[in-house]
């Protein structure tokens, strides 16, 4: 059965705390991971918490990448949700493992929107507002 999207829930352990507390660097890495998996970036926003930690999201035409970090534990929780069959969330997850220098990663992949569409090719590359069709 085909799904409208794939959603990877990833836990990154034993990451470098300095990386996990740097919102600008995390944003660069999250955008790079989106590009690595073939996604189209729409926008992003990141926030640094006091005394430490970062939360952020990269909105992609195909859905989103989101992160929340706990530098004091060397831990990050990441969601990578992509719609369609052309963008692979596992590619972004592997890239983030490298960028965050994670010693251990656990993942769960969920199929979102499982529908009885056996014969159809699922394409999801929505047109951006302002683009000509």
Are 2 and 120 in contact by the 8 Å Cβ rule? The answer is: yes
From the list 15, 37, 63, 64, the catalytic residue is: 63
Are 65 and 15 in contact by the 8 Å Cβ rule? The answer is: no
From the list 55, 68, 118, 124, the catalytic residue is: 68
Identify whether 63 is a catalytic site residue. Answer: yes
Q: Which residue has the tokens 């929780």?
A: 77
Q: Find how far residue 30's CA is from the centre of its chain.
A: 7
For residue 116 the two structure tokens come to: 């009885």
Question: Which residues, 6+ apart, have CB-to-CB distance to 71 below 8 Å?
Answer: 17, 18, 20, 21, 52, 53
Identify whether 55 is a catalytic site residue. Answer: no
Are 67 and 56 in contact by the 8 Å Cβ rule? The answer is: yes
Identify whether 37 is a catalytic site residue. Answer: no
Q: Which residues pair with 105 in a beta bridge?
A: 12
From the list 7, 15, 37, 83, the catalytic residue is: 83
Q: Which residues are catalytic?
A: 63, 68, 83
């Amino acid at each position: 059965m085909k799904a409208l999207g794939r959603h990877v829930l990833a836990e990154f352990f034993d990451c470098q705390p300095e990386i996990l507390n740097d919102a600008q660097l995390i944003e660069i890495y999250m955008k790079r991971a989106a590009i690595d998996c073939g996604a189209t970036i729409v926008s992003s926003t990141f926030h640094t918490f006091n005394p430490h930690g970062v939360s952020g999201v990269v909105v992609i035409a195909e859905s989103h990448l989101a992160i929340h970090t706990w530098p004091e534990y060397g831990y990050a929780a990441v969601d990578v949700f992509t719609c369609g069959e052309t963008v692979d969330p596992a590619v972004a997850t592997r890239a983030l493992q490298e960028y965050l220098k994670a010693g251990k990663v656990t993942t769960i992949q969920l199929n979102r929107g499982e529908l009885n569409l056996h014969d159809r090719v699922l394409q999801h590359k929505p047109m951006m507002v302002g683009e000509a069709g």
